A and B are shown apart, each in its own frame.
Chain A
Amino acid sequence: MKRVLSLFLCCFLILSIGCGKKKKDSNTITIWHWMTDRHKTFESLAQKYEEQTGIKVQIDLYAPSDVFTHKIIASAQARVLPDIYGILDKKKVFASFIENGFVADLTEEFKKNDSEWEKAIFPKALDVNRFKEGNIYNIRPGIYGEPLDVTNIQMLYNRKLLEKIGVKTPPVTFEDFINIAESLKRIGISSLVSGWGELWMIECFASNYAFNIMGEKKVMDTFKGEVPYTDPDWIKVFSIFKDLADRGILVEGVVTKPNKFAEQDFALERAAFAFNGSWCVNVYNDMNPDLEYGAMLPPSINPKLPMRIWGGAGSSFVVNQDSTNKDKAIAFLKWITNKEQQSYLAKETKNLPSNRQALSDIPKILSEFARVMDYTTYPSIWEYNEAALVSEKFNRGIQSIIIGEKTPQEVAEEVQAVKQKELEKAKRKRK
């Protein structure tokens, strides 16, 4: 027993002494990210960069994304953020990071040489990291982050399943969609699957239709508090979910499906339509390479207004304001977003590149996604954003509608009640 004890003590001492903190090296830049599927590609890029410039880039992965968010927030408090990192959160949180001096302003760099860097990037993607003149967060106008790739979220249809009922082209209007879904149901095929066990995906779908039904201005007016959620147009938005659920168009148990499980259902042809992001190309390819599918805009309800989908920067990097290697970090970001590296990233990881010139050689299905980038919008580029508490109530309310527990009217009233409280709170603060 005693021998075991001393052995352990020795091991412990040796190991603890042998691993003091490494000194900060001025020739190394550190990047923290959460993108497990891109880690290897990043590392090979880092190696290439070191060969070219002699600057070592250390890439650290912290996943899944909520662990990464914990890490970033806690490290910000301890003031130990790395040179380059990502902020995976709403614009309000991003603004708070900027406000408290954790994020460097990159505007100057983007504007250098006749805006060379800025022009290379998809404007929609850059907008996610841009704060405009007179923004509600009181952030000095400018660009604060560099998008790495582009995503958008739209609908996908399974060609084989649609052919079973003789449909060749995907539906454009909501009526068509309902008709197709009903005929699919008759031969025992469920229509729509989506990861609505994740709240943000519900918000995304609802917001698409809110824009289509009432237009951007009215949605923003709602966020400002000038239009209540009990407005008939909003009831119409809520009613879509009731309609989908009542007609049995949604896959059973859609509200408890995290997106990974929803993706499984579509890949294994258990549902004819999916509402999912452009990253799905990877996922479906892994699970079922023979899947024949296409991308489409969600079928529109109101022909007078355009359909809007969410899209923009898939993931962005920011530079730490306190970093001693700020220039080197920015140089690396410029390098990783130039055409060559972007093409490599797009090819290796099957994501849409953020550099427009790198769009040429991407898979066909991805280019279908890329085609509709003009229709995209994203909460981060809106003038106003809904308070997080209201969004939570909104999304969970829709879940209650889907499981048949509440009516659209009831949910609208509940959401409006929370909205009222938030508006009062904001008013009190202003005083």
Chain B
Amino acid sequence: MPAIRKNNLLAKAIDNSVNFSFVLPAIAIFSIFYIYPFYDIFNLSLHEWNGISSYREFVGLANFKELMVDKIWWKSIWHAGFITIIALTFQNMLAFSLALVCDRQIRLKKFYRTVFFIPPVLSEIVVGLIWQWILYAGTQSGEHIGLLNYVLVKSGLPHLVNNWLSNPKTALTCIALVHCWKGFGWGFIILLAGLQTIDSQLYEAARVDGAGSWKTFRHVTLPMMMPVILVVIILTVLGSMQVFILIISMVGQGLGYHTEVPVTRILSSMMGTGRYGYACAMGVSFGAILITISAAFKYLSNKTKQV
């Protein structure tokens, strides 16, 4: 009997290691590129270091303590959170509805599928330039230069003319909407791919059962799409929380602290004020926040699956 068990164990061990070899290349690359940098970032977050000196002063948790009461840091997280919330609702709803429409047999389907992916492909330089021009606030010889203000005046709504990017009330919303516009193509393409993997027999079964389009959507499409939606949600959270190139290309370092987001804070701590340790502490705690958010979404989606 023990011999058999031993054999079983051996077989299982071989089985496991064969299975493990599937993830081995990924783990190898991961270990090469992440273990040392991660260790270094964690280590640096406990030090004060100006980026150049060979001497790193150990300060324990002082960086984190300072971070806890750094109002501007928390404000920057809120700004990113605001952009993320708009992206999660507006951008993802747009992406999902467009994916649903383009999944059906409609005219010009191929055209739409191609065109919706243009914004993600465009360089940030172009996007920044275009929106700077659209939202431009100044006038020349009495006429608005910015497209939006120009259109507002021409369509008899001069009271809505605004200094879109330099008004703290509208700047972040404008940035968030441009971010959504630039990013919805991603959600669109992933969701569209997800829709293709739903077995068409399920739709037929639903039709045979006499379910209308809403019911089919609610009971077939949505549950089947849940895992893909979750991926899109996680990617949206990651993309929106870490947004910064778009912000720099639209408003520079401008507007007091109204357009600061975590990554711009990290960069300005590194390059602006030469506090690499503090920047790493920001990176670590920001990572922790993102992991928590993603885990929360995962937990929620598990919950909804059980219900």
Contact = CB atoms under 8 A, between A and B. Distances in A.
| Contact flag (A, B; Cβ within 8 A) | yes
Contacts of A190: 138-139
Interface in B167-182: 167-168, 171
A253 B166 contact: yes
Nearest to B143: A188
Interface stretch (B2-10, B185-193, B271-279): B271-279
Nearest to B250: A256
Contact of B252 (A73, A256, A269, A397): A256
Given A96-B52, A188-B141, A252-B166, A403 B253 contact: no
Q: Point out which of B141, B165, B272 has the most chain A C-beta atoms below 10 A from its C-beta.
A: B272
Interface in A6-57: none
A197 B137 contact: no
B53 A403 contact: no
B255 interface: yes
B29 to A, nearest CB: 15
Contacts, number: 96
A57 B138 CA distance: 47
Contacts of B51: 73, 93, 96
Contact of B52 (A73, A258, A268, A400): A73
B166 A254 contact: yes
Interface in B129-152: 132, 136-142, 145
Interface in A235-275: 251-258, 261, 265, 268-270
B256 interface: yes
Interface string A139-166: 0000000000000000000000000000
Interface in A72-128: 73, 76, 92-93, 96-97, 99-100, 102
Nearest to B149: A252
A258 B252 contact: yes
A253 B138 contact: yes
B158 interface: no
Interface residues of B, number: 34
Contacts of A413: none
Contacts of A196: 254
Contact of A256 (B140, B165, B268): B165
A135 B124 CA distance: 43
Contacts of B252: 195, 197-198, 256-258
Interface in A374-431: 388-389, 392, 396-397, 399-400, 403, 405-406
Contact of B256 (A96, A99, A198, A403): A403
Given A93-B274, A188-B142, A405-B168, A76 B254 contact: no
B100 to A, nearest CB: 32
Given A102-B52, A399-B256, A188 B136 contact: no
A199 B168 contact: no
Nearest to B55: A100
Contacts of B165: 253, 256
Given A252-B137, A396-B257, A99 B166 contact: no
Given A252-B138, A256-B171, A392-B273, A399 B254 contact: yes
Contacts of A96: 50-53, 274
A221 interface: no
B54 interface: yes
Contacts of B54: 100
A46 B271 CA distance: 31
Contact of B253 (A69, A73, A197): A197
A76 B274 CA distance: 15
Given A102-B52, A257-B254, A92 B274 contact: yes
A39 B50 CA distance: 30
B272 A392 contact: yes
Interface of A: 66, 69-70, 73, 76, 92-93, 96-97, 99-100, 102, 188, 190, 195-199, 251-258, 261, 265, 268-270, 388-389, 392, 396-397, 399-400, 403, 405-406
When A and B form their complex, which 6 residue pairs have the shortest distance between CB atoms, in order from nearest? A197-B252, A256-B254, A253-B166, A388-B273, A252-B137, A197-B254
12 contacts: A93-B50, A97-B52, A190-B139, A196-B254, A197-B253, A252-B166, A254-B166, A255-B254, A258-B252, A399-B255, A400-B257, A405-B168
Given A66-B267, A256-B166, 16 more contacts: A69-B271, A73-B51, A93-B274, A97-B52, A99-B53, A100-B54, A190-B139, A195-B252, A199-B253, A199-B272, A251-B138, A253-B136, A256-B255, A268-B140, A388-B272, A403-B166
